[in-house]
Amino acid sequence: MLLLTALGTFAQIRAAADELDRHDPSPADAVSWFEEKPGRFRIEIYAPTKQDALSAEAIVGAAAPELHLKQKKVKTADWVAMSLEGLPAVRAGRFVVAGAHALMGENNGRSKIWIEASEAFGTGHHGTTWGCLMALEGILRERRVERVLDIGAGSGVLAIAAAKQGADALAIEIDHRAAAIAEINTHQNKVAPRVRVIAGDGARYIAGKQFDLVFANILMRPLIRLAPKLVRVLEPGGTLILSGLLRTQAPLVREAYANRGLILEKQIPKEAWMTLVWRKP
């Protein structure tokens, strides 16, 4: 894996990161940016191959030609450790998500979700995961959740959160390695009897079934493509939570789902990201 880094102004770094986020699929496995010192920002781009790194450089060059990317080789999993190790607990409503190191100090009555840093997406720190957890918090204030479908489950954090509140969940993850990690996480959180993890597309496991809550925290294009299936598996009165979206992408997704008879109940913004909460009449 290759790590590309550059320093620049807020406008330059934000432009580069936003342009990489717009590409689906993206040549980058992960993109992060932060303020390194007052007025000076840093972007880190992790590309799996040399060709992906060249594609990322071209995208950044078009968006922010003033940035000068530096490149170095890193071990495949290094970006996970460097990005996530030692992160503080994330609090979202009644939930707190963290690794064991941070959960030890949490004694505030919140529902604890133990997720260690790994290759599987979903530690709660990303704006999309946080948005989904806050959407779940809002639903739980109004009703019980019983049958949950989690598409693109990643670490399993959303299915685990629902299971800790008494739901039975089906978690589908196309990446087999991530699915294996999600399975481990269900056992660590003592909800394995309530969460079934499926590796693959999972279509045959949901055929003919309906759920009162569906999560889909993936990307814009698959969200639009899957709209007919996701609406079909959502039972009347059920809630559909969509995320993985930049704020700029939300209008296209809203159009795809509003045309299928759903009611948009809430939009939850977090940084550059948006979570959409729909209800089926």
CA 49 from chain centre, in angstroms, equals 23
138 residue type, one letter: G
Superfamily in which the 120-279 domain is placed by CATH: Vaccinia Virus protein VP39 (3.40.50.150)
Question: 100: phi > 0 → left, psi -120 to 50 → alpha, else beta; which?
Answer: alpha
> pLDDT tens, position by position, for the chain (281 residues)?
888 999 999 889 989 988 887 887 789 887 877 777 777 888 989 888 999 999 999 999 999 999 999 998 876 654 444 444 545 677 888 888 877 666 676 667 788 888 876 544 444 456 788 999 999 999 999 999 999 999 999 889 999 999 999 999 999 998 888 899 899 999 999 999 999 999 988 888 898 899 999 999 988 889 999 999 999 999 999 999 999 888 889 999 999 998 899 999 999 998 778 999 999 99
Burial class (CB within 10 angstroms; exposed 0-12, middle 13-18, buried 19+) of 171: buried
d(CA 161, CA 155): 11
One of 3.30.70.1710, 3.40.50.300, 3.40.50.720, 3.40.50.2300 is the CATH number of 2-83, namely 3.30.70.1710
Give which of 191, 190, 144, 196 is closest to 163, Cα–Cα: 191
- Taking only Cα atoms into account, the Rg of the chain, rounded to an integer number of angstroms, comes to 19
Give residue limits of the domains in the chain.
2-83, 120-279
User: Residue with structure tokens 């990322």?
Assistant: 56
Q: How far is 183 from 203, CA to CA, in rounded Å? A: 19
How far apart CA 76 and CA 226 sit, in angstroms, is 31
Whether residue 227 contacts residue 260, with contact meaning beta carbons closer than 8 Å, is answered with yes
Say if CB 87 and CB 55 are below 8 A apart: no
| Model confidence pTM above 0.85 | no
Same CATH fold, 120-279 and 2-83?
no
Q: At what angle do helices 157-164 and 127-140 cross, to 10 degrees?
A: 20
Of the chain, the end-to-end C-alpha distance in Å amounts to 47
